[in-house]
Structure 1
């Protein structure tokens, strides 16, 4: 009698390395999206604040779409319609584009709030000292407004890092996708998901602690 064939195997040391590589891919796509998305978000926030009427009619509705439509729908639609538009993008590029725009739409409101947090009397005082508009933005608005909204930006960055798990629907093997693959093979969901949670915590905790240290330093 032939022995029964098993399609499952236990968790191995190589699987831990597989999850570590997936965590690196999560960090990579998150980092690219957060950095570029934050820069775009600052630009969009400035446009929303300075060009109130024009921006409210053009840019604001577009940003509302990215904020309102569930991210997973954005990912699937973009990945499937990009080839129709002549764009040949792999899952990483498609996910990074959507996450970047999603991050930018969230940061835009944060940046607009930061600019608005600097009172007009302070800005008029800066201009009366001979500062140009851009000097006022650099030396007055950015330091004061940036500190005011920094915790909100950190929240957005951590949220985008966790939302990067949705890129798994495109076939990009980040941490959640790797966990699903291992759960299917090992049939040990509790252990795999616990490890995945530990990896997410390891990625997020340094950002939280560093931001807390910066806030404490600014408060001195």
Structure 2
């Protein structure tokens, strides 16, 4: 029979542990998803046969299907398909990285296409290669254009990490569920959990706003 108890000092450590897991997974999946998503966008920029349409199709599937379904498919289905074992953390890492990559791909493609074609044509007239055009003309402007949508995406992906608790990852949401069951004080528990997510989201928004302002200032100073 479960015994209900009040909050203790140990609960603070449990909260910090859950917070650490959520932050670590968010950071890791953002980094991995960012690299993959930008890689897919480059395939489209260079119009690589077969690979560019394949990346577009994969991104379309990932961004238009529920993350929870993707999580179950990876955690329960992938081990059967590959005849291997996946820990809950590994499944969460794969799922959230892929989902983040899909949306970063969309943002990157939109940002690249926002650059005026006349600038790209002018760069080619001056003898710049596609890589030089990308690095010197397209990338600085695309980065400034894409950082606003990227900030919204990151905040959304932070909230999406709360879903990984359903497969047993001891993240911040899972810790909240544990404390709620033990103390039977849902209002206090979920208010604290919600505030922690809110504070993390505000930090992400503030950091992205500062970077975006610097990118825009740099672009204007370069006269691009």
Query: TM-score normalized by structure 2?
Result: 0.89
Tell me, in whole angstroms, the C-alpha distance in 2 between the residues paired with 1:152 and 1:113: 10
Moved more, 45-54 or 164-173: 45-54
Match of residue 42 from structure 2: 46
Q: Tell me the residue number matched to 2:27.
A: 31
Q: Provide Cα deviations, 1:74-113, integer angstroms capped at 9, x if missing partner.
A: 1112101222112322111110100000001111110101
Q: 2:203 aligns with which of 199, 203, 206?
A: 206
TM-aligned CA distance change 1:56 to 1:127, over 3 Å: closer
Instruction: Identify if the C-alpha distance between structure 1 residues 87 and 155 changes in structure 2 by more than 3 Å, giving closer, same or farther.
Output: farther
Give the CA deviation at 1:59: 2.8
The residue number in structure 2 matching 1:101 is 98
- Determine the C-alpha separation between the residues in 2 that align with 1:201 and 1:122: 41
Alignment RMSD: 1.9
**Gap regions ≥5 residues in structure 2:** 218-224
Q: How does 1:98-177 map to 2 (within 5 A)?
A: 98-177=95-174
Is the contact made by 1:76 and 1:169 (CA closer than 8 Å) also made in structure 2? no
* Residues 158 and 204 in structure 1, CA contact (< 8 A), matched pair in contact too: yes
Give the corresponding residue for 2:64: 68
* SS of residue matched to 1:176: helix
Assess if the C-alpha contact under 8 Å between 2:143 and 2:215 holds in 1: no
Look up the match of 1:8.
4
Does the aligned pair in 2 maintain the 1:46–1:115 contact within 8 Å?
A: no
Counterpart of 2:76 in structure 1 is 80
Retained in 1: the 8 A contact 2:140–2:215? no
